[in-house]
């Protein structure tokens, strides 16, 4: 790998990896990361918008219900991160559709919220 092809993970990405690894190793929960944090050209951005990309979509979706909600949308922030208005709106929209939507501040908080939601 050349120096130019390396991708350095920021603090939020490191926390995301911790959550994904915990989910894979310690649960059988289906989940996906929504890769909405990419950078692209204005032309690619316009194409993605036409294809349906939406600002504010949460980082993690767990499509398994828990008896009360259809599934869990989780927006992962660093411990000092702040949700954007688009992220708040997205989670409000998901709650209106029968999903739970939460903000987590770091991997430990995310894991605790997932454990609580699924009683594990």
Range of the domain at 21: 9-118
Residue 90: inside a domain? yes
Question: Does any domain span residue 81?
Answer: yes
pLDDT at position 6: 53
Long-range Cβ pairs for the range 109-116 (8 Å, 24+): 109/79, 110/15, 110/19, 110/60, 110/74, 110/76, 111/19, 111/22, 113/74, 114/19, 114/23, 114/27, 114/29, 114/62, 114/72, 114/74
Digits of tens for pLDDT over the chain (120 positions)? 344 445 556 888 899 999 999 999 999 999 999 887 667 888 988 898 899 888 899 999 999 999 999 999 999 999 899 999 999 999 999 999 999 999 999 999 999 999 999 999
Give residue 73's pLDDT. Answer: 98
| Residue 3 belongs to some domain of the structure | no
pLDDT at position 85: 97
- Whole-number pLDDT of residue 48: 85
- Is residue 1 included in any domain, yes or no? no
pLDDT of residue 30: 98
């Amino acid at each position: 790998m050349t120096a130019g092809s390396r991708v350095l993970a920021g603090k939020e990405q490191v926390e995301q990896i911790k959550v994904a690894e915990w989910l894979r190793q310690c649960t059988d929960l289906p989940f996906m990361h929504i890769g909405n944090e990419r950078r692209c050209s204005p032309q690619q951005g316009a194409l993605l918008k036409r294809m349906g990309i939406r600002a504010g979509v949460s980082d993690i979706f767990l499509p398994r219900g828990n008896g009360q909600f259809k599934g869990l949308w989780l927006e992962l922030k660093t411990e000092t991160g702040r949700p954007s208005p688009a992220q708040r709106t997205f989670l409000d929209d998901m709650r209106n559709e029968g999903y739970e939507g939460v903000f987590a501040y770091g991997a430990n908080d995310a894991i605790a919220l997932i454990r609580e939601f699924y009683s594990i």
